[in-house]
Amino acid sequence: MNIFFSSRRLQAFALGVGAVLGFAPFGWFPFPVLALALLFYRWQHAPAPRIAARIGFAFGLGYFSAGIGWVYVAMHDYGHMPMLLALPVTLAFAGVLALFPALAGYAQARLHVPLWARLTLLLPAVWVLAELARGYALTGFPWLTVGYSQAAESPLAGYAPLLGVYGVSLVVATSAGLLAWGWQGRAQRSGKLAMLSLAVLWLGGAVLRGVEWTQPHGAPIKAALLQGNIPQDAKFEEGRLIGTLELYRRLIEQTDAQLTILPETALPLLRETLPPSYVERLKAHARAHDGVVLAGLFEREGENYYNSVAAFGNGEEQFYRKNHLVPFGEFIPVRAVLGWLINEVLQIPMSDLARGGAKQAPIRTDGQRVAVDICYEDVFGEEIIRALPEATLLANVTNDAWYGESHAAMQHNQIAQMRALETGRMMLRATNTGVTSIIGKDGRIRAMLSQHTEGVLQGEVQGYSGMTPYARWGNAAALLLALGMLAAAWRLRSR
């Protein structure tokens, strides 16, 4: 652990921790820019590539330890993993994620380029390429992608409909490089040019925020988002089942909404085991308001089990089945080797599910089309846009009760804000313990329930049609920009 025996690495670790303040619930969006600017400065002065890698690892260890430490709560408090095992596993997870900024640090140090090109081309490019790699490797873990810190109040959020979250990350990292360049050359013409470029970049984002990429579709409808606040450790207890069903029936019947959405697995049963009389009451309520009730539950088809959302209303039932499953929580990777971890150490119900289709039809209701995603799926913007342009509304159902009183739920809500910005559509979030919210197409929160309370969030929501540039290009545009910047830096390398 000699990582802590160097002041530069201690400083890098502290910078990583500080960068987390840019994310929800803090929302101090300039902090990641400042943290990256100082990291880039450290990388620039690293005497060797291996030293730059260690600095990057220290930054990443602080960043991820502070940012995703809530993994411990899921494993220890609800997965019943012993503390002496859960703590090192959480730290090891942060360490694995820290390898990506370490790799970025090493890669940039291997290329000798002029200072301005290193700070404004090379470093932003390798940072974003490392984030992209993390977002795809081993099913992907793009949580804390730095672009999320700019949703939704930052001027840089204006770039989201163009380039998506990785494009916003590229602008954040470029801003950090310009800031570092401007500071070092503050008494010279180059420093003034850097600061002028930084101002133009941020002003451009503010201007883009005023662009209307999508158009209203149909008349507004009334939506009701239910938050049952069922304790995670009681959710699957047989003795609590009737009470859970009655709770959601009562909350549903309090509303007069055309679109009523329940959280992920709000009804903790297989669809085939739901009492027919209960289902008929849900359908009758939906028909009375010319709408649908979307309920999270499990489905079985043959030998396969699915984490699903069922739509009850007029006509045939509609379903969405979760496609992007969480390793260990919903499926067991390399079962022959790791199956013991789920079966013997962790106690997670329904932990080996089947995947739904990659492209599924949106749920139809009253002239609108609702693209549903379940829990962790909304972390993957390129998967959300599969439902476009047909979908006019987005809906995320989730259960972040796994993470207790931690910052995970607010971070997850901020991720959903980015999805609204990228697609130009409203996002409706129904959660078990929070954050239940209505998010406008501009990424701003229109209404929100308090966490860890039982309640119904009602509001008028508007569907939208049309395609943002990001909805057409996906992550390809940000990837090509980063590769282009890397290629430009390569051409400027010292010979």
Considering only CA atoms, which of 16, 92, 89 is closest in space to residue 56? 16
Per the residue annotation, which of 299, 322, 422, 441 is the catalytic one?
Answer: 322
Q: Dihedral of CA 23/26/27/32: which sign?
A: negative
Q: Determine if residue 4 is left, alpha or beta; phi over 0 gives left, psi from -120 to 50 gives alpha, anything else beta.
A: alpha
* Strand blocks (E) in 11-154: none
Q: Which residues pair with 92 in a beta bridge?
A: none
Task: For residue 73, give the amino acid letter.
Answer: V
Tell me if residue 264 is catalytic.
Answer: yes
CB of 388 closer than 8 Å to CB of 185: no
* Strand blocks (E) in 31-136: none
> Cβ neighbours of residue 85 under 8 Å, at least 6 residues apart?
345
CB of 425 closer than 8 Å to CB of 441: yes
Rounded CA-CA distance 29/19 in Å is 9
Considering only CA atoms, which of 348, 344, 355, 444 is closest in space to residue 401? 348
Per the residue annotation, which of 131, 264, 330, 422 is the catalytic one?
Answer: 264
Tell me if residue 375 is catalytic.
Answer: yes
Per the residue annotation, which of 131, 299, 330, 375 is the catalytic one?
Answer: 375
Burial of 450 per CB tally in 10 Å (0-12, 13-18, 19+): exposed
Tell me if residue 359 is catalytic.
Answer: no
User: Would you please indicate which residues are annotated as catalytic (active-site) residues?
Assistant: 264, 322, 375
